[in-house]
Amino acid sequence: MEKLDARLLIVDDDRDILLAAKLFLKQHINIVHTEANPENLPDLLRNETYDLILLDMNFSRDATSGKEGFHWLNKILEIDPTTTVILITGYGDIELAVQGIKEGATNFLLKPWDNKKLLATINTSLQLKKSKVELEGIRSRQKQRVSGRNGDQRILIGQSPAMQKVMAMVSKVAITDANILILGENGTGKELIARAIHDHSTRAGEVFVTVDLGAISESLFESELFGFKKGAFTDAKEDRPGRFEAAHKGTIFLDEIGNLSMALQSKLLSVIQNRMVVRLGTNQEIPVDVRLICATNMPLHQMVSENKFRQDLLYRINTVEIHVPPLRERFEDIAPLIDHFLEIYCNKYKMPMKRVSPAAMNRLERHSWPGNIRELQHAVERAVIMSESNILEPDDFFLSKTEGSPTDTIRTGNMNLQETEKMLIRKVVDKHGGNISKAAKELGLTRASLYRRIEKYGL
């Protein structure tokens, strides 16, 4: 059997126990040190690092109360709060052991111990320590990612009535712990909304874990979200926590939730309901405390009626729904967004500050932006890089061929009847998430008539 790669210290004033424990444990653990005098602990811990300490609760000075053991437990944790400590007591005092765990110990053993029980307790405690270290590493990396982002890129920009409404909802729901469902087209900034909710919540100091469900294959879903135990499958070389464990005490953002199969929806629902995850290869339930935010560009309510999405899961994830409007419905925000991205990319590429000519701005405000804010951001970045002038003209922006006004009647002054009809059909179809029946009803057309117009305009 392969030895555990760990450093262990046993502290007990009974030298016979120290010898017996060391002889047994050296067969299973790489490094085993012993110490009979607890007074030497401070110097020992300043010079050595141990993965685990077995600490006797009762020394000869105070043979029964356990007070001396508590004193040294507190001293160990004062020197290194991350130390894993297993308490040893020879009197079967469960209350004493429970008090020790409350004060920071990981587990306890009763003398005389069974060697198999001793080894199992040590192994469990080391695995728990390893999992905690992994989780802290994930959380630390997540916090670095969040703090390392350009703060200006994470602010919500919007003076349009539609975005003002979204911002008001964000302010309202952020301070609660309610589950949030964010709906909107690709590129509208759903993740930015989710981060804004997290940043203004009581969990703002904890991690924000993003999971792109559309990028996770069905076979990897459980291992990625719920974690796995070493040996659970061929490539499982070590225990690993899943994304839900990594998000413990923080926020987990499940993007593209509409892409999940019915089978995976069922597994996710179980975790959301019970607030427990079970790693692959184990039966142990691990409690998780997370704020859940989901997002999708798919019409979930319609999918429920088509039996493609579980109604009970939809109820669980959408305590509050936030609809993020497409950019074509908030043309008032195009100019401030352009200014925002110009500042970012001129600074990034160390260029003089550029500005957009009136002609270029007119063209940008009339573009339908099928890729929404993401398309606008890329268009501005490319223009900053490629233009040699500090004034950006219409030809500096490479836009998709689909042109149109971002509103239905407000900005149709230079459009003919066909262009206006095309724009209106696109707006209403998008409003109803592609549901032709609802769009046709609102437009006062039959389904067949609407299909003919969609085909005519190439929508």
Per-residue pLDDT tens over the stretch 337-357: 999 999 999 999 999 999 999
Q: Where are the domains of the chain?
A: 4-131, 161-323, 327-396, 417-457
CATH of domain 327-396: 1.10.8.60
Tokens of 250: 């923080």
Helices (H), 333-390: 334-348, 358-366, 372-386
In order of 160, 308, 332, the CA distances from 335 in angstroms are 11, 39, 7
Residue with tokens 């975790």: 271
Q: Which CATH class is domain 417-457?
A: mainly alpha
How many whole angstroms from its chain centre is CA 311? 24
Tokens representing 389 are 């002038």
pLDDT at 124: 82
CATH code given to domain 161-323: 3.40.50.300
pLDDT of residue 87: 87
Residues 391/381, Cβ–Cβ less than 8 Å: no
Confirm whether 4-131 and 161-323 share one CATH topology: yes
Report in angstroms the alpha-carbon separations of 222 from 268, 445, 453: 9, 46, 44
pLDDT tens digits for range 61-110: 554 455 777 888 888 888 877 788 888 877 656 676 677 777 778 788 88
CATH class of 4-131: alpha beta
- 280 forms beta bridges with 228
Percent above pLDDT 70 for the chain: 86
Contact (CB, 8 A) for 251 and 293: yes
Longest pairwise C-alpha distance within the chain: 98
pLDDT at 132: 66
Angle at 323 between CA 320 and CA 325, to 5 degrees: 165
